[in-house]
Amino acid sequence: MTECLYRYISFESFVGMIQKQALTFVLPELWEDPKESAPFLEFLKGKENGFERALFYAAHNKTYGQCWSRLAESDAMWRIYSFNKHAIQIKVSTEKISLLPDINVVPVQYMDNFVIDSNKGMQSFLQALAIKRTAFQHEEEVRLIKHYKFSDERDAEIHLKALCVLADHPQKIEILDSLFPELSLEEKIHELVRLMNDGIFKEKTIDVSFEMIPDFIDGVKVHPQAEDWYVNTVSEFCARNNLPFTGKSTLYSNE
């Protein structure tokens, strides 16, 4: 069933998104609540197969997400994501989001005590990335998740060998040589950290283009307490970029 999702962002982020025609996804480690890593760690603990556990760990290091909400109007959301009363609300349908490449739409589950069934594979993996404490349930959050997919058995084998090197395997030098035989030691290390998305080469964000989806954005709204000059500025920007501007939120209006 098609529904609409909403994202509350700053004007600067909004302009950047429109100029790039892309959504910016971030690593889960950058999410605000540090306790959100607990469900994923619990998921890993439950994987009895060590190779499978290692593969999910490697995939997690290349998994990115973006947070949306089901709330079309919310006093809490406008206040939390106020951006000095200049917040922008983006509205997009799940039908259009489904056209983005390799994106999973995962509703957040709010619970203080969670249990992860690690035997459900990717379903459990995605669930572990969408659990928050009940203190955050006012957000009615939905997460867009883009996870790394191993292209074939050879790709999975390469990642497992790289993990062995990073875990200080007794034969780490031999394993590293087998991964990148033609490179110098320094180049081998550089390629290793790039492969595992780690260290100085870690990509903390990725852009997911929506340029191929006509009229991707269904609505643009501004903070209910925004000044008139700001509302006009956003309106003009939307007009120049053929975006459906629905004006200022009427949440606090007497009309």
> What does the pLDDT read at residue 114?
86
Cα separation of 196 and 202, whole Å?
8
> What does the pLDDT read at residue 255?
63
Is 24 part of a structural domain of the chain? yes
Residues in the chain where the model's pLDDT stays below 70: 255
> What does the pLDDT read at residue 204?
94
Q: Are 114 and 42 in contact (CB under 8 A)?
A: yes
Number of domains into which the chain is organized? 1
Q: 90 has which bridge partners? A: 7, 220
Is 92 part of a structural domain of the chain? yes
What is the separation of C-alpha 88 from the centre of its chain, rounded to a whole number of angstroms?
A: 19
219-237 confidence digits (pLDDT tens): 999 999 999 999 999 999 9
- Region class of 200: left (phi > 0), else alpha (psi between -120 and 50), else beta: alpha
> What end-to-end distance do the CA atoms of the chain give, in Å?
33
Is 237 part of a structural domain of the chain? yes
Is 198 part of a structural domain of the chain? no
